[in-house]
Amino acid sequence: MTARFKVVIPARYASTRLPGKPLLAIAGKPLLQHVYEAACASRAGAVVIATDDERIKTTAESFGAMVVMTSTAHQSGTDRIAEAVTNMQEPDDTVIVNVQGDEYGLPPAIINQLAVALQDYPDYLMATLCEKIINKADMTNPHVVKVIIDNHKSAIYFSRAAIPWVEQAGELSMQAFPYQPSRHIGIYAYRAGFLKTFTALAMCPLESSEKLEQLRALYYGYRIRVELACATCGLEVNTLEDLERVRKTVTSHKL
């Protein structure tokens, strides 16, 4: 089934680890432009960039993007998207896909898959994606967010720690794990009305501890649909090292 949806890309200049990263160049284009073009290659009815920074606005408009300006006070991209969707006067049942502005090489097929998943399961208000962990080092890396899922494809928990606990995990190969660990991919789909509900909820203790806002939805009893991504996700750019790795990857692919 073809989903009708819109993409909103939250973008801020004041990143703690890599200031101005949406505007940093990769292969002659700002990172944000690469993300925008990937989103435009999906089946989205519209792609909007939500920002609080005039430098980002100017750059985004220079490559043809629609921009919605938002408050400088937002603590998360979800808060920024919620304001943008309100300003856009979207109906409550509109499917909104949150594409992070720092994910280089995100396949458009993943965006389409996520939107369809939310449309196909109307009893869910929020959906996301995961991929299998194949590297044992990723299990203990706090920057790799893990997710465990029930047999109905609903999220049970997200954590920066290795979950679930496995006896003698250090001695097992990844293929021998009794439960295949999954890495959460930070792309979400929401129904527009739920964005307003979600951002009005108080931060919960689990969210504060893990620094993962999706735990707020689980804490208040909302289910999150989790699908296995149909393609390998892009490369996330959070640090200068990440940026250099992506630049080297792009260069090597051109050789």
pLDDT given at position 167: 76
Residues in contact with 105: Cβ distance below 8 Å, sequence separation at least 6, in sequence order: 34, 38, 234, 235, 246
| Tokens representing residue 25 in the block | 């160049």
> What mean pLDDT is predicted for residues 200-226?
96
Give mean pLDDT, residues 31-38: 97
Average pLDDT in the 236-249 region?
90
Mean pLDDT rounded to a whole number for the chain? 92
User: What is the percent of the chain with per-residue pLDDT over 70, rounded to a whole number?
Assistant: 97
Residue 99 has pLDDT above 80, yes or no: yes
Query: How far, in Å, CA of 202 to CA of 210, rounded?
Result: 15
Domains and CATH numbers, the chain: 5-250 (3.90.550.10)
Q: What is the pLDDT of residues 154-171, one digit of tens each?
A: 999 999 998 888 877 777
Residues 72-111: b if buried by 16+ CB within 10 A, e if exposed: eebeebbbbbbbbbeebebeeebbbbbbbbbbbbbbbebb
Q: pLDDT class for 255, splitting at 50, 70, 90?
A: very low
